[in-house]
Chain A
Amino acid sequence: MRRQQLAHVLFAAAVLFAGVAVLLPASPTEARATDGSFTGSVTATRSFINQDGTETPVTSNKVTLNVAQTKDLRGRQEVHVTWDGAIPTGGVVGDPNSSDGRNQEYPFVLLQCRGVDGTVPKGQVAVSPETCWTQTSAERYLAAASHTPSWRMDAYASAEDRAAVVGEPDPLPAECADLAPPLTARWLPFRAAGGDVYYGGPDPNAGCSPLAPESDSAEAGGLPSNTTYGITDTKGHGEADFAVWTAAENASLGCSVKVACSLVAVPIVGVSCDAWGTKLSAPQTTADDTVVLTEAQLTTADTTCRKTGAYQPGESRSSATTDQAVRGNLWWSASNWRNRITVPLTFAATGAVCDAISKESPVELMGSVVLNELTASWRPEFCTSKDLFTFTHVQQADSLARTLVNAGEIDGAFSSAPMPGGYARPVVQAPIAFGGFAIAFSIDDANRQRRESLNLNARLVAKLLTSSYPAAAVVRDNHPSIGGNPLNITLDPEFQALNPGIPESSTLEAAAALQVFSASSDLIWALTSWINGDPEARGFLNGTPDPWGMKVNGSYLGLSLPLDNWPLRDDFMAPQWYQDQNACYAKSPTPFMQLIANPPNNLGAVALNMQYANSSVSTVCRFDGYDLTTLPLKQQGRQTVGYRFVLGVVSLSAARRYNLRTAALQTSSASVAGQTYAVAGRTFVGPDNAGLQAAAKLLTADKAAATWRLDYSKLSTPEGRSAYPGALPVYAVVPTRGLDEKVSTELAKLLCYASSAGQVTGLANGQLPPGYLPVTAENGLGAEHDYLLTAAAAVRKQGGDVPALDIAAPAAETTCDFSAPKPSPTPTESKSPKPTKGPATAPAVPNDVPTAAAPSDKPADSATPPVTEAATVLTSGQESSFGRLGVPGLLFFAVACALAGSLMRWFDPISAAVASAGPKARKAAQRGRRRR
């Protein structure tokens, strides 16, 4: 009876709390959709408080904010933010992320802050201006030469915040004493995740007072700020791509799975003025707290504060000063801050959780950089799931990974290209992902707006890669082979024909380079395969000039492709007069075109350069006050927003993660009669889903290499015309003999996962990130998907099979059922490898050692499917019977002879010794003697 009563009470309480939870969320209204996007709105008002205490409303805006993705976020990912109903921005600057954006009038400020709004769970902090990140001290420290700047007149601020000097560090650092004390100052310290407080201040470089370490300039290695002073157009609409940071990018902000962070949008409406202090209990004073502000001062303050903007909506910044009361740098002021929309951000778990959780040593899988985003998504899922295992993906050159798995150094590799000469061990190459390369760009058009599309053909890419654009006048006038070529790609008529509207510039050295990372990778192999398969580009490399007479750089003439590492072959050195003029170049003379190309050393660096429009051309010689003796050549660095032009080769998944714009690549060209260069006959395909699906149809099986390859010659056919040429399948190369049971089971689990849950697209950990086409039958990759199961069965079996590509796949239920022991071989499975034909080549050489001329060959009867191909020659050893029997036989024989001989020779003494042993022995000896 009592239990029943208790149950009733608990049930009622549960209903009550559920009801309260439903009713609790009030304004601002928020909606967090299941796909992770966020929509919220706020009504932002501004009013003036008159001397008599009455309130005059000024503006009232209903601002709506939409954030495209707020869940499963990853470091440096860009989320798309749009807003409507805000006040249009005046005094517009070119780059909303720059520190100068704070001086715009009515910007829409976006900040990433640590903490949450509302009820703060245990271990988290509340969002406040002190936990929001800004990069420079000017955005946090304000000083005025008057007693009455607008922030002191904020009606919604507390009395302490309206004092003359607020937030000063106590004690003030000694370096600050050297600076003249301002009349009014507002310090806004930044509270870092570890507990440190950085005050910023008038001169952080001199020690007054230091900023967080991530505030270093981008040139010193820091990331450009993600604080956005967004520009609202005259209709009240605005958009921005906001880069979210995890603790890996910004440790002082410290956002992670465990530390809650938010995106805070502050629509600037201006300070609600209360110059007369009607909301205050005591009148305002000057800095030393002695002199009360006079009536005249307060009147000036009121006039200054009531300003609504010196610039027209949408007007660009000129030399006129913007109105202080409506500037973006007052985002923290209570009038603006109270109108904020806080968007909670949830980050996806990174691989760091694996180091903490798993106790076993991870399986190392080495190779392909194309799979970086895929393994970043799968790795936390694998190591936290008890059915799966822990692995690490070591990014490496695919060729090295293939060699290591061939030698038995590692248990699995990711690669795309076939192994030259075949694998010595029996391995299976399972297609676990279909990704590709993309040519990313950050280009601004003539209107200083970001360009969203670009068409590139293989010949243009070949021109960039082979340093055929001189880039600088010194090269054009002195180089032996490229003197007659356009200075950079913007001046190339072919580029202009394909992409009208891009401004020409003869000083843009970054437009003569394509940023390609210098490590070996099959990504470059795919890029050069596409170039090699294009007849125009191949002809250009062989010396045929383009229709305007541009010729290839002589150092690259006749270069044989494909390659997995782009060589820097041009060795042109600038003449002496240039070295005299450029002291840095004189100190470290390098072939000039290599300074233009200056490849970054990994894919991540290229993606970073594309995201922030950094030019890697290192011809800059700038004396910045440091060591005169070194004078290094510096990279050009971040280009000004509005005048950007960078191109780089990245993987498709990296382009999608960092929101990079990707170029459409040419698949076919048809000549049109009467025109030397026909734009109309050319087709360009971008890396969208349709392009990848069409590319999937172009995969042809390469039985010799046991992989599928993209047939670039088919791009010019009608079926191939709509295929994206940058598609690249990635294989997991796993040996099918020699692995121990634990590792083989784990790798088979990886293949089974890749054939099922791993091909579901999504943003959460364990799903297929954007930038890969799922390997499924719907996308035309049915044979590849089935081969994943065949491969998983072969890996589990560890029988040394190399299954043929067209073999019938085993059932997924039995192959991927890891609760049971290994499935027994079914009739459809591959047979064990047959011995090949007899020892090859000259009988003189020991039969089983192949000479360099004879390749390892397969049995002749491999034509009938489904038969396992064991593409190996078996050792036919030699045997020696003497070796087997001789020495032990001799030893045995010797011992026997010695025993027999000694017995016969010394029979009498032996028998006497035996006889003396006992009566029975004596009797036997006697009997023996009598017999004799």
Chain B
Amino acid sequence: MSTVLHTGVVDASPPPGGGEREPVRIGSSQVLLAVALLIAWFLLYLFVLSGLEQGNAQSELYEELRTELAEGTAPTGAPVAAGSPVALLSIPGAGIDDLVVVEGSRPTQLQDGPGHVLGSVLPGQRGVSVIAGRSLSFGAPFANIADLPYGAPILVTTGQGAFVYEVVSVRTKGDPVPAAPPAEGGRLTLVTAARGGGGLQASQTLYVDATLSDGAVVGGPVSTADIGVPLMSGGLDTATLALLALSLQLLVGALVGFVWAWLKWSRSAAWIAVGPCVLAALWLVSSLGTRLLPGLI
């Protein structure tokens, strides 16, 4: 009925938790930590997990190529479907053992292994053949080709036979290009990004030329060159973006599911059941995301 007067000390200290600034601080710190974790995941994917992906793709391609070589149906000229295996590459001096070379040199194909650049002849044929490969991620097959000495052998097996090339030059920007091979000889050029900065940087393209002095065979038709995506620039093509958008939606969905399981279910159940789904979605997003990066990285 009347106002009650409390006597005594009034606690005017600020409320626990820091007041308004606390949520902001906590929130922003959480965001920063999340960003750091995300980037760490991305680097982990780039250097380690993508290698596993490539290894899986390589084993499938190897089975396919093996069958094709045995049956004699391996391609000898255009047209070859993008991503299908065309040759087997071994460079003992660079630690490359029986790697399947696929057709095409877009980042998508280079995720599966070294790619045969369109517009050049297939390896083993007369003329110049170009194979591009990654040097940082996805197994980094061409990480060590810069150290190949002159005369190092490069063995290529295609449907037309086995050929041994010998390295004649290693060059980057500014070095002279070797002269065109003679009419009956062949040349193989390996393209990758030169590693630097302690293995983290891969900025300049590096070319390794190797000649086939005798035994070059006449090839089939040469495919038209792919001018869409230069080797060292990322591709923002719509297909990849669309897939990336879909995969991001999937990731979001997985995260939502994880949060729901965290709140409504039990924490450990959320980790065990939904954690791998999140991881898989994250992997998918990373895989599609790296297709936007330069293909030789």
Contacts and interface: CB of A to CB of B under 8 A. Distances in A.
A114 to B, nearest CB: 48
26 contacts: A409-B151, A421-B179, A421-B182, A845-B119, A846-B117, A849-B120, A849-B177, A850-B179, A852-B183, A854-B180, A875-B171, A875-B177, A877-B173, A877-B174, A878-B230, A878-B231, A882-B234, A883-B297, A894-B36, A894-B40, A894-B43, A898-B40, A901-B28, A901-B33, A901-B35, A932-B14
Contacts of B136: 883, 887
B36 A907 contact: no
A901 B119 CA distance: 50
B291 to A, nearest CB: 13
Contact of A900 (B32, B204, B296): B32
Interface in B1-29: 14, 25-26, 28-29
Nearest to B297: A883
B193 A848 contact: no
B235 to A, nearest CB: 12
Given A407-B151, A846-B191, A846-B231, A880 B203 contact: yes
A834 to B, nearest CB: 12
B202 A883 contact: yes
B172 A877 contact: yes
A421 B180 contact: yes
Contact of B39 (A881, A883, A893, A904): A893
Nearest to B125: A852
A890 B207 contact: no
A874 B174 contact: yes
A901 B193 contact: no
A147 B173 CA distance: 96
Top 3 A-B pairs, shortest CB-CB distance? A844-B225, A901-B32, A877-B173
A843 B231 contact: no
Question: Considering residues A855, A875, A880, A888, which has the most beta carbons from chain B within 10 angstroms of its beta carbon?
Answer: A880
A690 interface: no
Given A421-B181, A891-B39, 17 more contacts: A407-B168, A408-B169, A426-B176, A845-B225, A849-B130, A849-B189, A850-B180, A856-B179, A875-B173, A878-B205, A878-B232, A880-B294, A883-B294, A888-B200, A894-B35, A894-B40, A901-B32
Given A846-B191, A883-B201, A852 B179 contact: no
Contacts of B204: 877-879
Contacts of A2: none
B150 A901 contact: no
Nearest to A896: B36
A905 B23 CA distance: 10
Contact of A904 (B32, B35, B203, B230): B32
Question: Considering residues A421, A843, A886, A887, which has the most beta carbons from chain B within 10 angstroms of its beta carbon?
Answer: A887
B95 to A, nearest CB: 21
Interface in B259-297: 293-294, 296-297
Contacts of A877: 172-174, 204-207
Question: Considering residues B34, B173, B178, B205, which has the most beta carbons from chain A within 10 angstroms of its beta carbon?
Answer: B178
Contact of B297 (A842, A870, A880): A880
Given A872-B177, A874-B176, A882-B297, A849 B33 contact: no
Given A872-B176, A884-B201, A905-B26, A846 B130 contact: yes
A196 to B, nearest CB: 47
B173 A876 contact: yes
A907 B24 CA distance: 13
Interface in A421-436: 421-426
Contacts of B193: 880, 883
Contacts of A875: 171-177, 207
Interface string A394-414: 000000000100111100000
B53 to A, nearest CB: 18
A809 B150 CA distance: 34
B176 A852 contact: no
Interface in B88-120: 117-120
Contact of A873 (B32, B177, B293): B177
A420 interface: yes
Contacts of A406: 168
Contacts of B46: 887
A539 to B, nearest CB: 28
A424 B25 contact: no
A852 B181 contact: yes
B56 interface: no
Contacts of B70: none
A902 B176 CA distance: 51
A407 B172 CA distance: 17
Contacts of B178: 424, 856
Interface in A848-865: 848-856
Contacts of B294: 880, 882-883
A848 B177 contact: yes
Nearest to B202: A883
Contacts of B172: 875, 877
A901 B169 contact: no
B177 A905 contact: no
Given A850-B180, A874-B175, A882-B234, A845 B36 contact: no
Contacts of B183: 852
A869 to B, nearest CB: 13
Given A424-B169, A844-B224, A883-B201, A890 B180 contact: no
A856 B180 contact: yes
Interface in A803-844: 842-844
Contacts of A408: 150, 168-169
B151 to A, nearest CB: 6
Contacts of B25: 904-905, 907
A897 interface: yes
Contact of A845 (B40, B117, B197, B234): B117
Contacts of A887: 43, 46, 136, 200-202, 297
B203 A879 contact: yes
Nearest to A420: B182
Nearest to B223: A844
B227 A844 contact: yes
A890 B42 contact: yes
A895 interface: yes
Interface in A895-929: 895, 897-898, 900-905, 907
Question: Considering residues B117, B118, B180, B294, which has the most beta carbons from chain A within 10 angstroms of its beta carbon?
Answer: B180
A733 to B, nearest CB: 15
Given A879-B205, A897-B32, A902-B29, A852 B177 contact: no
A541 B189 CA distance: 41
B127 interface: yes
A116 B159 CA distance: 73
B130 A891 contact: no
A875 B205 CA distance: 10
B249 interface: no
Nearest to B41: A894
A833 to B, nearest CB: 8
Question: Considering residues A408, A426, A848, A849, which has the most beta carbons from chain B within 10 angstroms of its beta carbon?
Answer: A849
Contacts of A846: 117, 130, 191, 231
Question: Considering residues B169, B203, B293, which has the most beta carbons from chain A within 10 angstroms of its beta carbon?
Answer: B203
Contacts of B182: 420-421
Nearest to A854: B180
A849 B179 contact: no
A872 B200 CA distance: 32
A900 B39 CA distance: 14
A395 to B, nearest CB: 21
Interface string B208-228: 000101000000000011110
B246 interface: no
Contacts of A881: 203
Nearest to A908: B18
A883 B181 CA distance: 32
Contacts of A893: 39
Contacts of A903: 29
Contacts of B202: 880, 883-884, 887
A257 to B, nearest CB: 39
